[in-house]
Structure 1
Amino acid sequence: MADDKDTAAEAPKKSNKMMMIVIALALVVLGGGGAGAFFMLRGDSAEASAPKKGAITAAENTITVNLADGHYLKLGFALQQTEDAGEEAVDLSEAYELAIDEYTGRTVAELATEEGREKLKADLVAKLVKAYTEDGKKMVMGIYYTSFVTQ
């Protein structure tokens, strides 16, 4: 008779353990699905708020910038405007000045590597976006180099 009580007491313990495992597994699956949905929906809102490409305004002339140690940079570029800027070309005077300020005094070694060029370009784009933002509207979103020659 004592054996019957022991086996009867062990049966509910196993089902409780199994139930806890099933509940924990369900929570993990639901939590993972919720996290996945959160990140996917958050990515869509970031894309929706990003400015859309508009017209491109090309600089008519290249500029020559003094680099360090007697070297020069011949630079030509075009600005990628946003859709908010409309079809009218932006005035490039400030873009010329910002490009000259950004590159003057740099070394050829800084400009010789892709990482160096990309860092300087990212810095210049940030300054251009700031300079060409009017009433909270970004008028420029990028720059394309049409000429980039060091000597």
Structure 2
Amino acid sequence: MTITAMPGAPAGDAAPEEKKGGKKKLVIVVVLLAVLGGAGYWFFLKPSGPPPPPEPGEVTALEPIQVNLAGGHFLRIGIALQATTTVAHDVEGSKALDAVIHVYSGKKLEEVMAPKEREHLKEELKKEVDHLYHGDVMDVYLTEYVAQ
């Protein structure tokens, strides 16, 4: 003789209650694992603020060039590039010299000689060089600046 159900309890009611309790336990375990995973990330793997600023590396001085200004004037300008320590070699300057020509050529003599405008043009050059060198150059210095 085989017993398939306990006396006094209907045979079909026991299985759904066990499944229902099993689903609740599974949901609780999943939520608990998500909370523990989030807490572990927060305390151990979370980035600790912004990255440190780049450290200055070598300065590469470039040969001065002459740039044509408006009205038959010209500007003789020399620059030096301050690389970051992430650069393992000297910075090749042809892209920077091209940026100098792009930023300064065609400007009026009054524009390149006014102190405020000169600083503005230098900042524009610095942004252009930063873009061209993908952040490997952190500053641009004017080593020669003669307009005529």
* TM-score normalized with structure 1 length: 0.63
Q: Which has the larger radius of gyration?
A: 2
Distance 1:50 1:118 in 2: 23
In structure 2, the partner of 1:65 is: 67
In the TM superposition, what is the alpha-carbon distance from 1:113 to its structure 2 partner? 1.5
Letter in 1 for 2:55: K
In structure 1, the partner of 2:76 is: 74
| Structure 2 residue 122 is matched with structure 1 residue 125 | no
In the TM superposition, what is the alpha-carbon distance from 1:111 to its structure 2 partner? 1.3
| Structure 2 residue 100 is matched with structure 1 residue 103 | no
SS at match of 1:118: helix
Distance 1:98 1:141 in 2: 15
Letter in 2 for 1:51: P
In the TM superposition, what is the alpha-carbon distance from 1:70 to its structure 2 partner? 0.5
In structure 1, the partner of 2:136 is: 139
Distance 2:80 2:74 in 1: 20
Distance 2:107 2:52 in 1: 35
- Alignment map for 1:8-87 (pairs within 5 Å): 49-59=52-62, 61-86=63-88
SS at match of 2:144: strand
In the TM superposition, what is the alpha-carbon distance from 1:119 to its structure 2 partner? 0.4
In the TM superposition, what is the alpha-carbon distance from 1:130 to its structure 2 partner? 0.7
Identity %: 36
Distance 2:55 2:114 in 1: 30
Distance 2:133 2:124 in 1: 14
In the TM superposition, what is the alpha-carbon distance from 1:50 to its structure 2 partner? 2.0
Distance 2:115 2:104 in 1: 15
SS at match of 1:90: coil
SS at match of 2:86: helix
Distance 2:146 2:139 in 1: 20
| Structure 2 unmatched runs, 5+ | 1-48
In the TM superposition, what is the alpha-carbon distance from 1:49 to its structure 2 partner? 2.8
Distance 1:72 1:144 in 2: 19
Distance 1:123 1:146 in 2: 17
In structure 1, the partner of 2:146 is: 149
Letter in 1 for 2:67: V
Structure (1/2) with the larger helix percentage: 1
* TM-score normalized with structure 2 length: 0.64
Say how many residue pairs are matched.
100
